[in-house]
């Protein structure tokens, strides 16, 4: 797979939808790349710094955790580190005022409009956005603010699908739909939902496997294995002759003489 660039994404805007997933491990990243997923992201936290190396052919975006940076300078510093760790782009749920300094330094930045979970209290909680004209206009204006700040892309989360499509058609931003219909430039889902790792799957997502049940089965297998080991030890079945090494009789006698 040839790794996409920001130019590729912008040049291909409107041609077809890209596939985009959030991952939490190198194993997920490697599997997603093997499956042909074109774009992926992960939170920029210490345990995730090595994930991009597991998917060298995929457009990789690190997400700056919301609330970690008290100034744009702090965000800029972490953004540069994220690029050094293999990211092609940076996601931030912060305001355009935080985005602009990063974009000014040539860092490809993705903003976020619609349902932004850390600030969802302003829209009444974790619910769809843009189902009324005034709120839809506000989503559009926020997207344009990110465009004006120099962002190259925007995640549009849980926005009425016709509203998201209209925004995508009226902005140069590469638009990423998370629960906002098929009118954007990429479809984005979390691996936890795709793999069925979480309990309740949100309406906008779809599970393609049931890893939760598989994890429960594996956990029971662990319990059973430990129980069998304990039983073998108590019953004298472990260790057996095949699990130990021996010493020749003559050497053993010499050993005993040596230690008295």
Query: Which of the 8 DSSP states describes residue 257?
Result: H
The SS3 assignment for 178 reads strand
The secondary structure of the chain in percent helix, strand, coil, rounded to multiples of 5, reads 45, 15, 40
Asked if 172 and 150 touch (Cβ cutoff 8 Å), the reply is: no
Query: Which of the 8 DSSP states describes residue 159?
Result: B
204 burial level (CB within 10 Å; 0-12, 13-18, 19+): middle
Alpha-helical regions (H) of 57-209: 72-84, 96-104, 133-149, 161-169, 191-194
Asked if 179 and 158 touch (Cβ cutoff 8 Å), the reply is: yes
27 catalytically annotated: no
The phi and psi torsions of 234 (rounded to 5 degrees) equal: -65, -30
Instruction: Report the run of H or E that residue 20 belongs to, with start and end.
Output: strand 18-22
The phi and psi torsions of 251 (rounded to 5 degrees) equal: -70, -35
Catalytic choice (33, 147, 157, 197): 157
- Cis status of the peptide bond prior to 239, with omega within 30 of 0: yes
Residues 43-67, buried b or exposed e (16+ Cβ, 10 A)?
Answer: bbeeebbebbebbeebbbbbbbeee
List residues with catalytic annotation: 157
């Amino acid at each position: 797979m040839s790794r996409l660039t920001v130019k590729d994404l912008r040049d291909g805007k409107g041609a077809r939808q890209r596939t985009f997933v959030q991952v939490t491990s190198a194993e997920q990243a490697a599997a997603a790349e093997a499956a042909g997923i074109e774009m992926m992201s992960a939170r920029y936290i210490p345990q995730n710094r090595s994930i991009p190396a597991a998917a060298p052919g995929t457009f990789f975006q690190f997400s700056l955790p919301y609330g970690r940076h008290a100034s744009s300078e702090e965000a800029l510093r972490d953004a540069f580190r994220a690029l050094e760790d293999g990211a092609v782009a940076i996601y931030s749920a912060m305001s355009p005022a935080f985005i602009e300094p990063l974009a000014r330094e040539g860092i490809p930045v993705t903003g976020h409009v619609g349902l932004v979970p850390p600030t969802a209290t302003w829209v009444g909680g974790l619910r769809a956005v843009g189902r009324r004209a005034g709120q839809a206009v506000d989503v559009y204006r926020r997207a344009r603010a990110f465009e004006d700040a120099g962002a190259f892309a925007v995640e549009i989360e849980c926005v009425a699908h016709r509203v998201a499509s209209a925004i995508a058609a009226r902005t140069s931003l590469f638009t990423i739909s998370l629960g906002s219909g098929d009118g954007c430039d990429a479809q984005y889902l979390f691996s936890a939902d795709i793999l069925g790792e979480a309990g309740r799957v949100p309406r906008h997502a779809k599970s393609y496997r049931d890893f939760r049940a598989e994890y429960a089965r594996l956990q029971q297998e662990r319990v059973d294995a430990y129980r069998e080991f304990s039983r073998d030890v108590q019953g004298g079945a472990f260790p057996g002759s095949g699990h130990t090494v021996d010493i020749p009789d003559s050497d053993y006698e010499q050993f005993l003489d040596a230690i008295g």
